[in-house]
Structure formats: structure tokens, C-alpha cells
Amino acid sequence: MEKFKRLKNEGNDFVKMGEYEEAANKYSECMKLNTEECTVYTNRALCYLKLYKYEEAKRDCDHVLQIEDSNIKAFYRRALAYKGLQVRKKNMPGI
């Protein structure tokens, strides 16, 4: 549990510095220790949104909503992911 907390805090620090790739990696390590902790999924979804990885962000939010079906952050970030995917689709030629 200590290691989980340390990794999560390191991830949070990376987010504050705008280092989203590093933060996502820390949150991924957290998930190996605890798959039920929703905050690391919503935090990683935030990182993915910042990195324009909308499909990955949506997947993390879907996972959270299977565990906590009323998680506001997951709903909000999933909506942002859907919006990002729509914009990307609109801007791609031939789709």
C-alpha cells in the first residue's frame, strides 16, 4: 500500500509539472498494485486527454464507470474523450 501511495503521489507531481507521459506511467504502475482504485484511472485519463490519446482516455473512464457508475470525473473526462475523437474524425480526410 505504501508503494501505491508513493507512485500515485509521484504521478500527481508529474501532472502538476505538465509531465503527462511520466504521470501516466506512474498511474499505470499503480494499477498493477490495485486495479480497483478509481482515482488512478481518472488521473491517467486526464493525462491521456492532455496527450490527445482519446481512445485510451475513454477506456480508462469506461473501466471506472463499471466500478463506480456515478463517478463524475469519469463521466466528464469520457465526454472530453468523445469530443476529442469527434474532432479528430472531422479533421481527417477521407472519413
Q: Identity (one letter) of the amino acid at 34? A: N
Mean confidence (pLDDT) of the chain: 94
Tally of domains within the chain: 1
Residue 29 sits in a domain whose CATH number is 1.25.40.10
CA-closest candidate to residue 63, choices 34, 42, 84: 42
**pLDDT tens, 24-58?**
999 999 999 998 999 999 999 999 999 999 999 99
Burial class (CB in 10 A: 0-12, 13-18, 19+), 42: buried
Q: How much is the pLDDT for 94?
A: 58
For residue 71, what are the domain limits?
Answer: 1-91
pTM of the model: 0.92
